Amino acid sequence: MRKVTNIIILLISIIVSLNIYNGQRKLIVEEKNKLASLRIKEDLLKEMVGIEQRFSDFKKSFKTKDNYEMIGTVSNLAEQAGLKINKVQPLGEEEEPLYTKSKLKIILIAKDYHSLGNFVAYLEKSLDLYKVESLSITSPEAEGRIEVEMVLVRFTFKG
């Protein structure tokens, strides 16, 4: 009889300990899920801070309405020449006594050299005074197109 009682007590102990173990295991899984969720939130917050900083830097480069106007003009001229704009990056302005220099880095995709020449011709015909400060042409693996990176300077005279 004592053996039966000991076996019953042992079985009850095992069942109770398994229930406790399963309960603790569920809590551990929940805590791991919460920790993973917090890590994801932390990563997103870090990414948001980085994006806010880049936005702030980009916003500073658009100090004046002139930059918007310059980007609009260059975009229209590129479209007229049949070029696709891949990237536009304002590089700031330099104040001189008689004029202001506005710089713009632009990456274009052209079908051929002729369309690039048309774009430069449109810049020359523009009412604004533009200078091509640098020009880099690459031909990627895909045939039938060229990639052009150029820095344009627009001179705006004061007065």
In this structure, are residues 131 and 152 in contact, taking their beta carbons and an 8 Å threshold? yes
Helix H segments across the chain? 2-61, 65-80, 113-125
pTM above the 0.85 mark? Answer: no
Provide CB contacts within 8 A for 92, sequence distance 6+.
61, 63, 102, 103
How do residues 48-105 score in pLDDT, each as one tens digit? 988 888 877 766 655 555 677 888 899 999 999 999 999 998 888 888 888 888 899 9
Average pLDDT over the chain, rounded to whole?
Answer: 87
